[in-house]
């Protein structure tokens, strides 16, 4: 039987020369693949008291929405700067070149709510760390961080675990 990893396509030299881009659109487009991946992402959290799923733009929205529906929780988007219409708080993080900013609505969570953070891929962990900081600044408690793909050579898992986070990933690819 095919695994989640088998559905992920690799595009060479995107967006830069030397990068092996792990493309989850082929996983999402397949009905068996998408169901398998959503089911496996939420399995460690089924039956736990999760209040909200937070998804990181953009591919974390696709997964996070499906996971939230299945867990019967609310969904909270963490977006790139300037996209959310209401009052927000912001967090900057480091990219390969320069900095980026993500935002969350300042009323998206109640203090003490338990939040599952979802994204497609964990590389350096900069994006996820920024999301965690936003959630914690609103008083949310991170129940876990769930990813489809881990790129262990980029150190994201170690970075999040050093923050005390529980990290689940469905598969890993070695190398960049």
Ligand X SMILES: O=P(O)(O)OC[C@H]1O[C@H](OP(=O)(O)OP(=O)(O)O)[C@H](O)[C@@H]1O
Residues designated catalytic: 59, 96
Question: Which among 19-27, 39-47, 109-117, 137-145 is the span making contact with ligand ADE, rule CB under 6 A?
Answer: 19-27
126 binds, among ligand X, ligand ADE, none (CB under 5 to 8 A by kind): ligand X
**52-56 and 114-122: which strand pairing?**
parallel
Q: CA-to-CA distance for 127 and 78, rounded, in angstroms?
A: 10
With CB under 6 A as the contact rule, the residue among 84, 102, 104, 121 that binds ligand ADE is 121
Positions touching ligand X (CB under 6 A) are 56-59, 119-128, 156
Nearer to ligand ADE, 59 or 168 (CB): 59
Residue 105 near residue 88 (C-beta atoms within 8 A): yes
Tell me how far CA of residue 147 lies from CA of 2, 14, 112, 116, in angstroms.
Answer: 18, 21, 23, 11
Positions that interact with ligand ADE (CB under 6 A): 19-22, 121, 123, 151
């Amino acid at each position: 039987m095919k695994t989640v990893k088998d559905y992920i396509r690799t595009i060479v030299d995107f967006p830069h020369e030397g990068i092996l881009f792990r493309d989850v659109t082929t996983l999402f487009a397949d009905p068996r693949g998408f169901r398998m991946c959503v089911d496996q992402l939420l399995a460690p959290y089924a039956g736990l008291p999760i209040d909200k799923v937070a998804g990181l733009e953009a591919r974390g929205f696709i997964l996070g929405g499906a996971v939230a529906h299945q867990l019967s929780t609310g969904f909270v988007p963490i977006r790139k700067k300037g996209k959310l219409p209401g009052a927000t708080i912001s967090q900057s993080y480091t990219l390969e070149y320069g900095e980026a900013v993500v935002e969350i609505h300042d009323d998206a969570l109640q203090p003490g709510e338990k939040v599952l953070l979802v994204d497609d891929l964990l590389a350096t962990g900069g994006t996820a760390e920024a999301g965690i900081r936003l959630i914690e600044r609103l008083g949310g408690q991170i129940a876990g961080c769930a990813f489809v793909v881990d790129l262990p050579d980029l150190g994201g898992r170690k970075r999040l675990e050093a923050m005390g986070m529980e990290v689940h990933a469905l598969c890993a690819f070695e190398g960049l």
